[in-house]
Amino acid sequence: MPTLILSKDEVRELLSMSEVIEAVEEAFRNWTQGKGNMPPKAYLGVEQGDFRAMPVYLPGVAGLKWVNVHTANLSRGLPTVMAVWIHNDPETGYPLALMDATDITAYRTGAAAAIASKYLARQDSHTLGIIGAGRQAYTQIQAHAELFELHRINVFDLSEATSEKLVQSFPEYYPRKCTPEEAAASDIVCTLTPAREPLLKKEWIRPGTHINAVGADAEGKEELEASILKEAIVVVDDIRQASAAGEINVPIARGQFAVDDVYANLGEIITGKKQGRTNPETITVFDSTGVAIEDAAVARLVYEKAQKAGTYQSLDLVDG
Amino acid sequence: MPTLILSKDEVRELLSMSEVIEAVEEAFRNWTQGKGNMPPKAYLGVEQGDFRAMPVYLPGVAGLKWVNVHTANLSRGLPTVMAVWIHNDPETGYPLALMDATDITAYRTGAAAAIASKYLARQDSHTLGIIGAGRQAYTQIQAHAELFELHRINVFDLSEATSEKLVQSFPEYYPRKCTPEEAAASDIVCTLTPAREPLLKKEWIRPGTHINAVGADAEGKEELEASILKEAIVVVDDIRQASAAGEINVPIARGQFAVDDVYANLGEIITGKKQGRTNPETITVFDSTGVAIEDAAVARLVYEKAQKAGTYQSLDLVDG
Cβ-in-10-Å burial (0-12, 13-18, 19+) of A227 comes to: middle
Q: Taking CB atoms and an 8 Å cutoff, what residues of chain A touch B84?
A: 86, 95, 98, 317-318
Given a cut of 90, is residue B311 above it in pLDDT? no
CB of A259 less than 8 A from some CB of B: no
Beta carbons of B93 and A69 less than 8 angstroms apart? yes
Sequence-ordered list of residues with C-beta below 8 angstroms from that of B187, at least 6 positions apart, any chain = B121, B122, B124, B125, B126, B127, B128, B208, B209, B210
Q: A298 and A282 share a domain?
A: no
A65 is catalytic: yes
Q: What is the rounded average pLDDT for all residues in chain A?
A: 96
A194 domain residue, yes or no: yes
d(CA B99, CA A138): 33
pLDDT at A251: 97
Sequence-ordered list of residues with C-beta below 8 angstroms from that of A172, at least 6 positions apart, any chain = none
Assign 3-class secondary structure to B84-152: EEEEECCCCCCEEEEEECHHHHHHHHHHHHHHHHHHHCCCCCCEEEEECCCHHHHHHHHHHHHHCCCCE
A7 domain residue, yes or no: yes
DSSP letters for A145-189: HHHS--SEEEEE-SSHHHHHHHHHH-GGG-EEE--HHHHHTSSEE
pLDDT at B218: 87
Active-site annotation holder among B41, B65, B118, B221 = B65
| Chain B residues 288-317 with a CB less than 8 Å from chain A | 313, 315-317
B318 domain residue, yes or no: no
**Cα–Cα nearest to B228, from B286, B276, B157, B267:** B286
Distance from CA of A68 to the nearest CA of B (A): 6
Q: Taking CB atoms and an 8 Å cutoff, what residues of chain B touch A84?
A: 86, 95, 98, 317-318
Q: B211 and B261 share a domain?
A: yes
A320 domain residue, yes or no: no
d(CA B126, CA B124): 6
Given a cut of 80, is residue A223 above it in pLDDT? yes
pLDDT at B74: 84
d(CA B194, CA B215): 6
**Cα–Cα nearest to A32, from A260, A208, A291:** A291
Given a cut of 70, is residue A148 above it in pLDDT? yes
Q: Report the number of secondary-structure helices (H) and strands (E) in chain A.
A: 11, 15
d(CA B6, CA A210): 47
Q: Taking CB atoms and an 8 Å cutoff, what residues of chain A touch B70?
A: 91-93
* H/E run at residue B190: strand B188-191
> What is the CATH number for A149?
3.40.50.720
CB of A55 less than 8 A from some CB of B: yes
Q: B94 and B125 share a domain?
A: no
d(CA A154, CA A146): 18
Count how many domains chain B has: 2
Instruction: Encode pLDDT of B230-249 as tens digits.
Output: 999 999 999 999 999 999 99
d(CA B112, CA A52): 27
CB of A49 less than 8 A from some CB of B: yes
CB of A91 less than 8 A from some CB of B: yes
A285 domain residue, yes or no: yes
Active-site annotation holder among A65, A230, A274, A308 = A65
d(CA A30, CA A60): 11
The amino acid sitting at B26 is E
Q: A194 and A212 share a domain?
A: yes
Q: Taking CB atoms and an 8 Å cutoff, what residues of chain B touch A79?
A: 318-320
Given a cut of 80, is residue B318 above it in pLDDT? no
**B236, β-bridge pairs:** B265, B287
Q: A136 and A199 share a domain?
A: yes
Instruction: Encode pLDDT of B132-183 as tens digits.
Output: 999 999 999 999 999 999 999 999 999 999 999 999 999 999 999 999 999 9
Read off the pLDDT band of A161 (50, 70, 90). Answer: very high
Question: Is the Cβ pair B55, A55 closer than 8 Å?
Answer: no
Q: B158 and B284 share a domain?
A: yes
d(CA A145, CA A127): 10
Q: B113 and B145 share a domain?
A: yes
Mutation target to probe the B interface, by most B beta carbons within 10 A, among A58, A65, A80, A82 is A82
Q: Taking CB atoms and an 8 Å cutoff, what residues of chain B touch A8?
A: 316-319
CB of B92 less than 8 A from some CB of A: yes
> What is the CATH number for A40?
3.30.1780.10
User: How many other C-beta atoms can be found within 10 angstroms of the C-beta atom of residue A161?
Assistant: 9
Q: B132 and B210 share a domain?
A: yes
Q: A285 and A304 share a domain?
A: no
Q: B280 and B141 share a domain?
A: yes
| Chain A residues 9-48 with a CB less than 8 Å from chain B | 9, 37, 39-40, 42-48
ipTM of the complex: 0.91
**Chains A, B: CB contacts under 8 A, how many?**
170
pLDDT at A320: 55
d(CA B148, CA A82): 45
Sequence-ordered list of residues with C-beta below 8 angstroms from that of A22, at least 6 positions apart, any chain = none
Instruction: Encode pLDDT of A247-281 as tens digits.
Output: 999 999 999 999 999 999 999 999 999 999 999 99
Cβ-in-10-Å burial (0-12, 13-18, 19+) of B38 comes to: buried
Instruction: Encode pLDDT of B79-138 as tens digits.
Output: 899 999 999 999 999 999 999 999 999 999 999 999 999 999 999 999 999 999 999 999
pLDDT at A61: 97
Chain centre distance of CA A194: 14
pLDDT at B320: 55
Backbone torsions φ then ψ of B94, nearest 5 degrees: -60, 135
Question: Is the Cβ pair A40, B42 closer than 8 Å?
Answer: yes
Q: Taking CB atoms and an 8 Å cutoff, what residues of chain A touch B5?
A: 5, 98, 315
- What mean pLDDT is predicted for residues B281-310? 97
pLDDT at B278: 94
Read off the pLDDT band of B9 (50, 70, 90). Answer: very high
Q: A152 and A278 share a domain?
A: yes
Mutation target to probe the A interface, by most A beta carbons within 10 A, among B11, B92, B102, B314 is B92
B287 domain residue, yes or no: yes
Q: CA A49, A162, A229, A40 torsion: positive or negative?
A: negative
Question: Is the Cβ pair B66, A70 closer than 8 Å?
Answer: no
Q: What is the rounded average pLDDT for all residues in chain B?
A: 96
B247 domain residue, yes or no: yes
Given a cut of 70, is residue A84 above it in pLDDT? yes
Question: Is the Cβ pair A82, B94 closer than 8 Å?
Answer: yes
Q: Taking CB atoms and an 8 Å cutoff, what residues of chain A touch B315?
A: 5, 7, 313
Backbone torsions φ then ψ of B128, nearest 5 degrees: -120, 125
Predicted TM-score (pTM) of this structure: 0.93
d(CA B222, CA A18): 52
Cα→Cα distances B286→A229, B120, B273, Å? 55, 8, 17
Q: What is the span of the domain harbouring residue A56?
A: 3-104+293-315
- What mean pLDDT is predicted for residues B261-271? 98
Cα→Cα distances A180→A157, A183, A216, B26, Å? 8, 5, 17, 54
**What is the C-alpha R_g of chain B?**
19
B320 domain residue, yes or no: no
Nearest CA in chain A to B78: A320
Q: B53 and B149 share a domain?
A: no
